[in-house]
Amino acid sequence: MGSISLSSVRKSFGTTDVIPGIDLDIEDGEFVVFVGPSGCGKSTLLRLIAGLEDTTGGQILIDGKDVTAAAPAKRGLAMVFQSYALYPHMTVYNNIAFPLKMDSQPKDVIDRKVRDAARVLNLTNYLDRRPGQLSGGQRQRVAIGRAIVRQPSAFLFDEPLSNLDAALRGTMRIEISELHQQLKTTMVYVTHDQIEAMTMADKIVVLNAGRIEQVGSPLDLYRTPANLFVAGFIGSPRMNMIEGAEAGKMQAKTIGVRPEHIRLSPTEGAWSGTVGVTEHLGSDTLLHIDADELGPITARADGEFAVRSGQRIFMTPDRARMHRFDEKGLAIR
């Protein structure tokens, strides 16, 4: 069991309100991702749930029990840190065994659990090594191993992949998702990387300046962003935002269209512009187009799309997939 419920949780450091008040429910077994730009309070929120920071106000319930004032160890959670935070003076075996030793479990039980965890995470051959002798990916697996042996009610991940190189990040992403499918334990995952959020989450919580901008499934957020911030944050490359007369035609302050929802043609279309930089990604081509009075527009074409810099090009947005926003930046439905 591992449902987490926050009600008007506040946190201030001195006179600055980092989190002015958050209500959020995390269901048992859910994979929830907190995403947002740096400084948005997502890590602080996770540390409040963990108990590493004290709340300034509000209530935190885990499985219906009020843990607002409980010590981290009493909350039954496990955490994986960005820096891995392994104990450098202990072997991999002892690192993974540490939470069990703290729980005073019998030696044979500890041994069995550590070896099980090591097998799941492909660490069996490294049990006698120290963290300093491991690669980044292996260290991260040890940190995860240390978390899973306790069989916590929920896992907390604080940007666990940001110290890894891009290729390794891809594999670890899949490993963590597989782990979630195997264990079916609640996971709360903090990241600033919207690709990690989109690919791993059951539910994404978009945070900005300590406030929740929107909560929803990855595709919900992609299809129906609640406001300009979410529209700009979710999706890569980011949504094109157009203001002015063109937006006025659709009775909106701002209109948004994603690069993948623009049809390109060399001869005809609703808008026109001059091709600037083109990025060939193999499977796709990204075109950065100077669309005269509309401003710069990014469009996505297929990988074989033949285009030269400086060429005149015509664009037709997919009207059904366009987004309209009012003066306050809220979506008009």
The residues that touch other proteins, with contacts defined as CB under 8 A, are 50, 52, 71-73, 77-79, 81-83, 85-89, 98-99, 102-103, 146, 150
Prior bond to 99 cis, omega within 30? no
Q: Which is nearer to other proteins, 82 or 224 (CB)?
A: 82
CB-nearer residue toward other proteins: 113 or 258: 113
For the record, the structure tokens of 275 come out as 């091709």
Residue among 239, 260, 237 nearest 324 (CA): 239
d(CA 49, CA 11): 12
SS3 string of 130-172?
CHHHCCHHHHHHHHHHHHHCCCCCEEEEECCCCCCCHHHHHHH
Contact between 20 and 1 under an 8 Å Cβ cutoff? The reply is: no
Closest separation in Å from C-beta 91 to other proteins: 13
Query: Minimal distance in Å, beta carbon 251 to other proteins?
Result: 51
- The CB-of-293 to other proteins minimum distance in angstroms stands at 51
- Which of 101, 184 has the CB closer to other proteins? 101
Dist CA 251 CA 247 (whole Å): 7
Q: Which residues pair with 9 in a beta bridge?
A: 22
The CB-of-165 to other proteins minimum distance in angstroms stands at: 20
Q: Sheet containing 254-257: give its strands across.
A: 240-243, 254-257, 323-325, 331-332
Q: Which is nearer to other proteins, 79 or 287 (CB)?
A: 79
Pick between residue 96 and residue 275 the one whose CB is nearest to other proteins. 96
Q: Smallest distance, Å, CB 82 to other proteins?
A: 8
Short-list 99, 93, 155, 154, CA closest to 121: 93
| 3-class SS of residue 309 | coil
* Residues 324/317, Cβ–Cβ less than 8 Å: no
| String of DSSP letters for 55-97 | -SEEEEEETTEE-TTS-GGGGTEEEE-TT----TTS-HHHHHH
Nearest-approach distance from CB 183 to other proteins, in angstroms: 18
Nearer of residues 146 and 169 to other proteins, judged by Cβ: 146
Nearer to other proteins, 56 or 82 (CB): 82
Q: Which is nearer to other proteins, 152 or 218 (CB)?
A: 152
What is the smallest separation between the CB atom of 23 and other proteins, expressed in angstroms? Answer: 25
Please, what is the minimum distance in Å from the beta carbon of residue 73 to other proteins? 4
The H or E element that residue 107 is part of is helix 107-120
The closest of 209, 204, 116, 195 to 161, measured between CA atoms, is: 195
